[in-house]
Amino acid sequence: MSDTAHVLEAGRLLEGKGFFERLLDFSFQYFITPKYAKLLYGIHLLLGLIVATWYVFNGFQASTSQGLLTLLLAVVAYFLWIVYVRVALEFLVAVFRTADNIARASGAGRDS
């Protein structure tokens, strides 16, 4: 069996590993970031929405005009937050996919 076949077979076996098994892998053979990118994206969007809502709420407590200004700024800031989080996660997923593809192409680089 060639090295490439070993890598592909190992890749199929790794799919069965759960989140905690991958999380506690001290050899860092398994990546968890690409698999949970959707979850991370949703959590960050939710946190951004909570922070924006908190700022708007505090702005309206101070005065109506400050609340309206905070609402406007919060909408703009939340949009920028969405763009920032999306770009950051796409970058991370691209890095992990590149590493995975390089490992597959080189036969996992474990020959020595």
In the chain, what are the domain boundaries?
A: 36-109
Q: What local confidence, expressed as pLDDT, does residue 20 receive?
A: 78
Closest CA relative to residue 34, chosen from 106, 99, 92, 102: 92
Q: Please tell me the predicted confidence (pLDDT) of residue 109.
A: 52
What is the per-residue pLDDT for 98? 92
pLDDT at 44: 97
Straight-line distance from the first to the last Cα atom of the chain, in angstroms, rounded to the nearest whole number: 17
pLDDT at 112: 43
Given a cut of 50, the residues of the chain with pLDDT beneath it are 1, 6-8, 111-112
State the Cα–Cα distance between residues 68 and 59, nearest whole angstrom: 8
- Supply the pTM of this predicted model: 0.70
| The pLDDT value given to residue 18 | 75
